[in-house]
Structure 1
Amino acid sequence: MSIGVDIVRGQAIQVKGNGDQLDQLNIMTDSRKLVVNGLFVPLVGETFNGHQFLMKAIENGAKAALWMEREPIPEALPKDFPLFLVGDTLTALQSMAKAYLNQCRPKVVAVTGSNGKTTTKDMIYSIVSRVFKAYKTQGNYNNHIGLPLTILSMPADTQVLILEMGMNHFGELTFLSQLAKPDIAIITNIGESHIEFLGSRAGIAKAKLEMTNGLKKHGSLIIDGDEPLLNQVKTNAFQIIKCGYNPDNDWSITDVKEGTDGYRFSLNHGLNVYTVPVLGRHNVKNAVYSLTAARLLNINPQSIITGLEHLSLTKMRFEKVAGISGSLLINDCYNASPTSMKASLETLKVLPGFDKRVAVLGDMYELGSDEKALHRSVADVLKAPITHVITIGGRGAWIAEPLLEAGAADLTVKSFQEKADARAYLASLLDASTVMLFKASRALALEELVNDLSESKPIDH
């Protein structure tokens, strides 16, 4: 979506060239991609400098560019090509996003958490988009670069903007929330992701709660009420709504009924029955965060029910895939922490109709000095009715160690260093009685094994 050039000019120190001929501009940061009427924003990192690719950007549709003052201007640049000279292009990009957000003034819903933020974002969008003109974070554009790009790509008539916010260090969520100024903030849970940088789960909780530093006055914070580290939050500055399974939560989940394609559940308030067509009991809680946000936006119960029923999730989140020989593959490969891995394994245990339940588990990263113990802790839930445990990678082998040491007679346990080494063995396990779960950190790309073992396209929920 294009932005007004006045938003850009607001950040300019000086304009070189004929900037008066510009109208609406589409942000581009990748000079290789074709863009109509583009504003090229050359970003600078440790190993790259986008300023070197201005001429390529012009070939692919750039009509103007931001430009750091200290960078030399290419001699081949057309004399009438507008450059908006700024001190720092990333800072200018972030300032443009803030200005555009202030101009459009949508309601902002921000989601963070160690696990489940993308799924929750998708659930909120599925509900909200039935009533309002909504826009959500695309892919994983959830950091100090991706979030402003998300804001700048939203249509100008957006009424509700749903932003995913990621972090791995203190201070990052303060910055993101103060840029976006959410009306509603959601913290899905506190796991172990990024504990390497944050020291402890208490440190992770503290970093996640930075989300409230940009929360609008009289805004609402929705939290996992089952998490003691979040239950300690007390303030009069904003409303706190606790969701979860504990009966003392503001929204307490009751009457959960599990099926082959998802869950039906009720809440302690009202008589409505909700359906969420996705596997994983933890996703019931994500659905409650989403419907709570929808209620704060005054969306009626029937639209909430319909939105959840017609949910479409981002790929690789407990995605069902038809495997060879009539098997079922569960692609949960987007990322992993000990908490999310254990939750996925609990779901694997209760899927009805399978004799072979195979867990394919791999390395998890950013777990700090306790990474070995945290990997080994996953073995605590690796019990019947799971029948096979296959680990991939050096860290993944730590998951298998306690099982091998205990000599678990009811489990077949094997470890492989590389994905390719495991492929043939995994294929030999697949038949109509097999469900096979794949879970590891993103860097391991276990979805490559899913693709190798799949028979057709993903199964629709």
Structure 2
Amino acid sequence: MNFSSKLLNNISQGPVEHELVFEGVATDTRKDCTNKLFIPIVGEVFDGHRFIDAAIANGATGTLWDKNKPFPQDLVGKINVYEVDDTTVGFQELAKQVLREQNPYVIGVTGSNGKTTAKDMLEAVLSPKYKTYKTQGNLNNHWGLPMTVLAMPEETDVLILEMGMSGAGEISLLTQIATPDVAIITNIGESHLLQLGSRENIAKAKMEIAEGLKSNGHLVIDGDEPLLAPLQKNAISCGYDETNDLQVDQVVKLDNGYSFTLLNEKEPFEIALLGKHNIKNALYSIAAGRKLGMTDDQIRKALSSLTLTGMRLEKFRSSTGALIINDAYNASPTSMKAAVETLAELEGFHKKIAILGDMYELGDREESLHRNIATAIQPSITEVITVGEKAKWIYDGIVEDEAQQVPAVSFDNKEDAASYLSGQLDDKTAVLLKASRGLGLETIVKALENES
């Protein structure tokens, strides 16, 4: 995105002598900075101000600069300097200025699980009618969200911003930068129990997204979640309970996804995705699409052909013909149970193997939350393989339950698990991989891809 240095007049100290047009922003001087505004980010262990010479060498024509840090005398006059009290705050204020000037329709998405899936669905539904831009990768924090805003193409009609958090107050900051027209809370899970201590506190943190909502904006929530009940009166609620505004009525399992209708509506919607939980994610896109004036036929067509970001119920076949379901991007107890349910629902396989790994950031309850995964293991699953120290608790929960008949094995590392699986896969086998991102469980996927 191109933007004028005039926007910096509102956030920098001292006059801007002459107008420049910047071709975006840069925070990494190892990349091309040509005609960009350099933002020297200051973190706990790094300070971007140290790299101003590299920014100039790589073509940056302007920089935000902490007024309390001396600017190198030998570089004076080689780059336009805009002094601010804090470069991160200045970065965020610049994003606000750009949003006001460009004025896209903004959709903010938060939730313990499903943020990226909901974001992908929203783009799929809205892009046939509008020029859309969404958060790339996991750029969903106090640095990533401004970067997304300043990277959007100038012709963007709809900006879809994912909002992540690790503690209270973070969503509040992001939503007040973005001031969304639609704010979506996908669900409340157990992620960040370590930082926040309870699901109640997680819900309060997620509900902060409403603080920045435009006065004529719309809040869309998981209406089946009791912890979001305080928002129900002023929100579009989605789910299965009869109190919801968008209530799922009839669900039909298809070979490659689901068909579902909404209460009092005859024409079904279809999603070509595994996982029944994705029906609720589709509801959020339906709600947003309708608010943006899309017809239900337009929404149906888009939902039936969407694709998701990698490692989220991503399907492929190994060389032996086995179906591999890679859902190893991240995991919480809620999302792991949903993934296991997805595997259990599959038909036409004589072996269904769940490979489950460690889940992180669960706080004091991490052992009980891992053990509780055993309650989601249904008889149609033929084997559970756990990988990692924490996942051993899942194994313990299975073998200690006298009513549980599904066999399980446990491994400390991925290499041993991959070796154990060698030679077991055929075209009547389905394998699920699910764990927190830090475990890197997808390395088993690579081994399975080469299975012969």
The answer to whether the 8 A contact 1:192-1:339 is kept is yes
**What is the aligned partner in structure 1 of residue 133 from structure 2?**
135
**What is the aligned partner in structure 2 of residue 13 from structure 1?**
13
**What is the aligned partner in structure 2 of residue 368 from structure 1?**
363
The answer to whether the 8 A contact 1:147-1:163 is kept is yes
The answer to whether the 8 A contact 1:67-1:86 is kept is yes
Residues in 2 aligned to 1:90 and 1:383: alpha-carbon distance in whole angstroms: 48
TM-score computed with the length of structure 2 as normaliser: 0.96
Question: Of the candidates 91, 102, 105, which is equivalent to residue 104 of structure 1?
Answer: 102
Runs of 5+ consecutive residues of structure 1 not aligned to the other structure: 457-461
**What is the aligned partner in structure 2 of residue 459 from structure 1?**
none
Residue 75 (structure 1) shift: 4.3
TM-score computed with the length of structure 1 as normaliser: 0.94
**What is the aligned partner in structure 2 of residue 438 from structure 1?**
433
Residues in 2 aligned to 1:79 and 1:95: alpha-carbon distance in whole angstroms: 25
The answer to whether the 8 A contact 2:4-2:19 is kept is no
Residue 161 (structure 1) shift: 1.1
Residue 120 (structure 1) shift: 0.5
Question: Over aligned residues, Cα RMSD in angstroms?
Answer: 1.8
**What is the aligned partner in structure 1 of residue 206 from structure 2?**
208
Q: Which amino acid aligns with 2:408?
A: V
| Higher alpha-carbon deviation: 432-441 or 266-275 | 266-275
Residues in 2 aligned to 1:56 and 1:272: alpha-carbon distance in whole angstroms: 58
Residues in 1 aligned to 2:283 and 2:226: alpha-carbon distance in whole angstroms: 18
Q: Which amino acid aligns with 1:183?
A: D
**What is the aligned partner in structure 2 of residue 450 from structure 1?**
445
Residues in 2 aligned to 1:340 and 1:118: alpha-carbon distance in whole angstroms: 13
| Higher alpha-carbon deviation: 276-285 or 198-207 | 198-207
Deviation by residue 1:374-414 (Cα, 9 ceiling, x = unmatched): 00000111131111111111101011002222367742311
Where has structure 1 moved over 6 Å in runs of 4 or more?
none
Alignment of 1:56-135 (within 5 A): 56-77=54-75, 79-135=77-133
Deviation by residue 1:186-240 (Cα, 9 ceiling, x = unmatched): 11111111112222111111111111111111321111111111124355xxx41
The answer to whether the 8 A contact 1:184-1:220 is kept is yes
Residues in 2 aligned to 1:119 and 1:11: alpha-carbon distance in whole angstroms: 35
Would the alpha carbon gap of residues 80 and 14 (structure 1) be closer, same or farther in structure 2, given more than 3 Å must change?
A: farther
Q: Which amino acid aligns with 2:325?
A: I
Would the alpha carbon gap of residues 81 and 390 (structure 1) be closer, same or farther in structure 2, given more than 3 Å must change?
A: same
**What is the aligned partner in structure 1 of residue 189 from structure 2?**
191
**What is the aligned partner in structure 2 of residue 289 from structure 1?**
284
Q: Which amino acid aligns with 2:258?
A: Y
Q: Which amino acid aligns with 1:87?
A: D
Residue 271 (structure 1) shift: 2.4
| Higher alpha-carbon deviation: 301-310 or 5-14 | 5-14
**What is the aligned partner in structure 1 of residue 382 from structure 2?**
387
Question: Of the candidates 160, 170, 176, which is equivalent to residue 168 of structure 2?
Answer: 170
The answer to whether the 8 A contact 1:400-1:413 is kept is yes
The answer to whether the 8 A contact 2:56-2:78 is kept is no
Deviation by residue 1:1-40 (Cα, 9 ceiling, x = unmatched): 2222212333221379xx6362233111111112331211
**What is the aligned partner in structure 2 of residue 270 from structure 1?**
265
Residues in 1 aligned to 2:75 and 2:386: alpha-carbon distance in whole angstroms: 54
SS at match of 2:361: coil
Q: Which amino acid aligns with 2:145?
A: L
**What is the aligned partner in structure 1 of residue 3 from structure 2?**
3
The answer to whether the 8 A contact 1:169-1:198 is kept is yes
Runs of 5+ consecutive residues of structure 2 not aligned to the other structure: none
SS at match of 2:231: coil
1:329 paired with 2:324, answer yes
Query: In the comparison of the two structures, how many residue pairs are matched?
Result: 451
